[in-house]
Structure 1
Amino acid sequence: MADLRIGWYGLGSMGLPMATNLQRHLFKNAQPSLTYYNPTMTSGQPLKKLGAIPATSLRELLVECDMIFTMFANDSVLMETVESIAKLAVAITNKIFVDCSTVHPDTTESVSRTISGLGAIFLSAPVFGGPAIAATGQLVFAIGGPGPAAAITRRYIQDVIGRMVIECGEEARNASLLKIGGNIITLNLMEAVGEAQVFAEQTGLGTAAMEQLITESFGGVAGGYSKRLTSGIYAPALDTRPGFGVSLAIKDAEHALSLASDFQVSLPSLEIAHNNMRASRDYAGECLDSSSMYGTLRVNAGLPFWNGTSRQG
């Protein structure tokens, strides 16, 4: 099979490290350089230094590339982009679109219909892991959509920008469902770790021993969530960018709660985590990590929202 020309649209905190690993792979294997586009093109400077090619417009990206990865913050940006693609009236027959965003399955289904109606192929490929994991190329992918296109796409994911690909079948929406199900576990685990650390602090046990237990007994993921709290990352300095912002986590929780309501599934633990994240955002603003429910748990226990390593206001 001839080498495909790969494009990337969306260079945020997740998209940039993912695209960076992909460009490094393409360069190492003497394949055509990645072509990228982003509303803020200066975000792509690190890619350009690695040999990636900036597109001057979305139209150029569509024309030049055979496969286009997208990574957006939310449903509305994805929908607006797909509407723009449709309006451009560029021939995209048989091109493969791979969306890595975390969106509602209904959004995935709608986008899939639109892209397919234009003669192209749509795959949903949301990821598990934050920016630090993305930088190491160790993300876990879910992938849903037509099997032949998924097999081709896997060549650019497996051991390139991810360590594992979970096949979700021919329906693109199933990959979104798996991602949302995974988010239920992630947010509940953050809530549980936060509760345990507040308990440890208030009883005088101390957070260090609890963090060691969490890491040794429940693994590196849970231990990493604990470090977000004890290191103050849950409430970073106002001039920094949270690793995974609280509003994105709230959006993810609301997708899960909406689907649970539709299918008469009870998610009481997620409701608690969701409410605590909202309370944290109301108290401390947008510059918070998804683990910032910890601040509300601290307040509820009579402690300050801020710990000794976070910002203080």
Structure 2
Amino acid sequence: MSHNAIRPLTNIGDAPSHNPSLSAPNSAALPYSRPATPGAHDHLRIGWIGVGALGYHMVGNLAKYPPARPPVALPIRIWNRSSERPRKLQQELGNDKIVIAQSIEEVATTCDVIFTSLAADDVVKGIYTKFAEALKAHPPSKNKIFVETSTVYPKISGELDSLISSIPHCHLITSPVFGQPAAAAARQLVAYMAGDYQSKKIVAHLLVPAVARKVSDLGGNLEKAPTFKLIGNAVILSSMEVIAEAYTMAAKSGIDQAVVAEFIKGEYQLFPSPIWLNYSNKMLNNLFDGSSGFAIDGGVKDATHIRHLSTDMNSPMPTVDVAFQHLLSARALHESQKRAGNPEFPVLDWSAMVGGVRLAAGLPALHKDEGSSVEKDD
């Protein structure tokens, strides 16, 4: 990984968070002007690979609120490994907004801007290998932009760029996003971009305000955006670890954990972010169903990447190391429940890492209540 300094962040735009209606960002605040007005035949054909918890809402919002400039040609062509989510989205929005592609190759060869939102590095590499094979067999005659939004290890970006940049007229940018599915549904994601300037300019205006409330530019080095994504996730994960430890200490001390919750969100406002307050609430109330949140497998993957980055950069992140162990403990407990045929949750949310902390303290792992009634003498 390159050690070049990251440029100061520059906001591409904000959609007002207080107003759920779609409104254009303030053009005076944009480092990128609007793309030049193309001819009527130059409407961008959008493709989307990966319709998971975030991708479902992202592509859905882009289909519902396509920008006029750059103009988008509907319907958007989507592909997912399983067909359930694509069919649901198509039924929800209609055939005039969403069409289901028959193959990855179809998306690559027929679309001008192709977004990928995938769960794992090997899946990302496999998809982009198929992109490259399809486009080498059918070389494009005009520009194509590939937008990788997944959370991957930064060095993967170079491998993807080698695949894509070897094909004439093809460009890759990295643009991971921050936000939970609820934020994606509300168009409140925040994206960080790196790569080709003109490509970022086009994609930024596709995303804001239809999909995200803000985009920040990290320069031309494709590795910078996924690196920052891991740094941001390290902050979130480390904060979750501190909250989990605080709740567990309160339980062992005979203090109602609701008091800790009030301390976090009350007068002191230690964690004002909705993300942290949401995870705090999940830990407080044992809300560990990850089917609509962030599954613990994804948390383990991200923590593994963060620790790898820490090693590569010789920059220790000890809190992440501890949190990683607690994620593994919680996942192991869940796997044991599944083997016994009695899992409490079909998919475990990564906030269940508090179970690893509770287990180390001798408390029931996925239930706080049994350990909360300990009475201590004054």
TM-score, with length taken from structure 1: 0.92
Q: How many angstroms does 1:179 deviate by?
A: 0.4
CA change 1:147–1:278 in 2 (3 A) is same
Letter in 1 for 2:50: G
Unaligned ranges ≥5, structure 1: none
Q: What letter matches 2:139 in structure 1?
A: A
2:82 to 20, 34, 40: 40
Of residues 281, 293, 298, the one that matches 1:227 is 281
1:116 is aligned to 2:162: no
CA distance in 1, matches of 2:284, 2:211: 29
Q: 1:215·1:222 contact (CA, 8 Å) conserved in 2?
A: no
Q: Is 1:151 equivalent to 2:205 in the alignment?
A: no
Structure with the larger helix share: 1
Give the equivalent residue in structure 1 for 2:130: 84
Name the SS for the 1:101 alignment partner. Answer: coil
Query: Is 1:295 aligned with 2:355?
Result: yes
Give secondary structure in 1 for the equivalent of 2:66: helix
Distance 2:291 2:356 in 1: 20
Change (3 A) 1:308 1:276: closer
- Give CA deviations for 1:280-310 in whole Å, capped at 9, x if unaligned: 111222832111210011112221012168x
8 Å Cα contact 2:148/2:173 also seen in 1? yes
- Counterpart of 2:34 in structure 1 is none
| 8 Å CA contact retained: 1:191, 1:291 | no
Moved over 3 A (4+): 27-31
204-213 vs 154-163, which deviates more? 204-213
Work out whether residues 59 and 90 of structure 1, in 8 Å CA contact, stay in contact via their aligned partners in 2: no
Identity across aligned pairs (percent)? 30
Return the letter of the residue paired with 1:198: T
Q: TM-score scaled by structure 2? A: 0.77
Task: Kindly report which structure 2 residues correspond to 1:243-258, keeping only aligned pairs within 5 A, or say none.
Answer: 243-258=293-308
Aligned to 1:106: 155
User: In 2 relative to 1, CA 253–308 (structure 1 residues): closer, same or farther, beyond 3 Å?
Assistant: closer
CA distance in 2, matches of 1:264, 1:221: 29
State the Cα deviation string for residues 18-40 of structure 1 (Å, max 9, x = none). 11111111299984221111122
Is residue 294–residue 350 contact of structure 2 (8 Å, CA) maintained in 1? Answer: yes
Task: Give the aligned length.
Answer: 306
Deviation at 1:6, TM superposition (A): 0.9
Greater shift, 132-141 or 267-276, is seen at: 132-141
- Find the aligned partners of 1:162 and 1:27 in 2 and give their Cα distance: 13
Candidates 325, 336, 340, aligned match of 1:275: 325
1:4 to 19, 32, 44: 44
Change (3 A) 1:15 1:242: same
Out of 57, 75, 82, which is 1:17 matched to? 57
